[in-house]
């Protein structure tokens, strides 16, 4: 049994009683977004990978009919009892969102699809996907909860849809990329047009992906993420009315089409919205180029594209944070770093870097003596963490 499973079982027995006997374990990983920032909900392409850090949900039968009980030892020592029927049509009220709200979101999503919940359960949740660190801990949690709660295991595509809806019910209008990466495992090319994905097996050679802690956490539901979703929809409306009436999404405009369309939009679309489209169009093209670079194992080119992605996310999509950009600049000055960028929803979280293995020790030392010393963090543990790609969501035999 893994350390996380042991931790979840121990916390469960501490709170539910020593006779607590788990019957099921569901695990789902977090993810790295390699290229394709904020384009999944715009119908674009994303390169992403499931990582070797997971959220674990251990379940046991409960003696309280019609109720799901939840303990999340990393968050609270309190057991929260959730009546199943109370979750029908549930949406989170304004306020902080945590494991209990996500559990209710998943339950509401299952009930809304007329999918039965396994019955009265006692859940214990543990994880090593850092929260507020841009690795989609919320997607990993929701995917694991779907597997733990659904009486009949959904297909991968249905699991993605249910977990995504749960996040929407909790106030985060996310696309389907995070959940897809968690379900699929490994590295995927995600297509936002139809939420499909294909698996890849890139050869990183002597390079690794690492995340560096900026010291600034973020939360999707309270960030500008919902605003960017709305702005993207507004921009798409302008383009449909003025140039391309049948355009399905921003992610389907080629760079050439966008440049040709700009004069017709000069008087109607604000510069701010044009910047948002600039990012989406150029980012989808970077993903295409990144695919070619990855297939050729040209990691210096891939790193350059990562840096360009981060620059556009900051300047055109305005979704980064000054502290994160300071960290990105410092990373890109270190020998052996092929590229670095902000990652995830933005306005905090880590920077993602592509680093040669031999450069890891000097990079860690340089950051420790520089950025990390200037900018403390409330997170414990190493502030530069190498992430390997790992398997997708699964129900684990006890």
Residue pLDDT, tens place only, 64-118: 999 999 999 888 889 999 999 999 999 999 999 999 999 999 999 999 999 999 9
CB 133 within 8 A of CB 93: no
CB 323 within 8 A of CB 215: yes
Classify domain 3-200+390-396 by CATH architecture.
Answer: 2-Layer Sandwich (3.30)
| C-alpha span between 172 and 164 (Å, rounded) | 9
pLDDT at 351 over 60: yes
CB 111 within 8 A of CB 169: no
Strand pairing report for 121-127 and 67-72: parallel
Query: Do 3-200+390-396 and 207-387 have matching folds?
Result: no
* Assigned superfamily of 207-387: GHMP kinase, C-terminal domain (3.30.70.890)
Angle at the Cα of 139 from the Cα atoms of 340 and 108, rounded to 5 degrees: 155
pLDDT digits (tens, 9 = 90+) for 181-213: 999 999 999 999 999 999 999 999 999 999 999
Q: Which residues contact 298 (CB under 8 A, 6 or more apart)?
A: none
Sheet architecture: strand order including 351-356 = 337-342, 351-356, 207-212, 384-387
Phi first, then psi: what are they for 41, rounded to 5°?
-80, -5
Count other Cβ atoms within 10 Å, centred on residue 94.
8
CB 277 within 8 A of CB 250: yes
Q: What is the pTM of this model?
A: 0.92
Q: Which residues contact 67 (CB under 8 A, 6 or more apart)?
A: 81, 82, 83, 84, 120
| C-alpha span between 162 and 160 (Å, rounded) | 6
Phi first, then psi: what are they for 272, rounded to 5°?
-60, -45
Mean pLDDT to the nearest integer, 378-397: 90
Write out the two tokens for 174: 């996310």
Q: For residue 197, count CB atoms less than 10 angstroms from its CB and return exposed for 0-12, middle for 13-18, buried for 19 or more.
A: buried
Percent with pLDDT over 70 in the chain: 98
What local confidence, expressed as pLDDT, does residue 71 receive? Answer: 98
What local confidence, expressed as pLDDT, does residue 218 receive? Answer: 67
What is the residue extent of each domain of the chain? 3-200+390-396, 207-387
């Amino acid at each position: 049994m893994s350390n996380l499973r042991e931790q979840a079982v121990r916390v469960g027995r501490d709170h539910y009683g020593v006779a607590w006997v788990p019957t099921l374990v569901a695990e789902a990983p977090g993810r790295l977004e390699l290229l394709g920032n904020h384009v999944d909900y715009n119908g674009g392409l994303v390169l992403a990978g499931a990582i070797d850090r997971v959220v674990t949900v251990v379940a046991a039968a409960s003696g309280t009919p019609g109720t799901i009980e939840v303990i999340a030892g990393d968050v609270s020592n309190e057991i929260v009892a959730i009546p199943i029927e109370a979750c029908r049509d549930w949406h989170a009220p304004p306020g902080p969102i945590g494991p209990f709200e996500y559990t209710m979101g998943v339950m509401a999503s299952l009930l809304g699809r007329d999918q039965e919940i396994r019955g009265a359960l006692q859940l214990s949740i543990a994880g090593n996907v850092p929260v507020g660190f841009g690795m989609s801990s919320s997607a990993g949690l929701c995917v694991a909860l779907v597997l733990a709660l659904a009486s009949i295991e959904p297909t991968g595509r249905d699991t993605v849809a249910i977990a995504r809806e749960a996040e929407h019910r909790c106030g985060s209008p996310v696309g389907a990329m995070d959940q897809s990466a968690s379900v699929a495992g490994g590295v995927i090319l995600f297509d936002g047009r139809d939420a499909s994905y294909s698996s890849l097996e890139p050869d990183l050679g002597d390079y690794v992906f690492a995340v560096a802690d900026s010291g600034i956490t973020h939360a999707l539901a309270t960030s500008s993420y919902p605003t960017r979703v709305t702005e993207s929809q507004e921009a798409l409306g302008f383009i449909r009315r003025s140039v391309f009436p049948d355009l399905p999404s921003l992610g389907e405009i080629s760079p050439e089409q966008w440049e040709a369309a700009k004069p017709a939009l000069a008087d109607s679309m604000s510069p701010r919205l044009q910047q948002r489209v600039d990012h989406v169009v150029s980012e989808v093209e970077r993903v295409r180029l990144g695919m070619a670079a990855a297939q050729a194992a040209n990691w210096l080119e891939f790193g350059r594209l990562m840096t360009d992605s981060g620059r556009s996310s900051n300047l055109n999509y305005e979704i980064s944070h000054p502290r994160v950009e300071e960290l990105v600049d410092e990373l890109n000055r270190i020998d052996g770093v092929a590229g670095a960028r902000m990652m995830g929803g933005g306005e905090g979280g880590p920077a993602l870097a592509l680093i040669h293995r031999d450069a890891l020790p000097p990079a860690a030392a340089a950051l420790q003596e520089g950025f990390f010393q200037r900018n403390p963090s409330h997170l414990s543990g190493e502030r530069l963490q190498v992430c390997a790609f790992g398997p997708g969501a699964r129900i684990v035999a006890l």
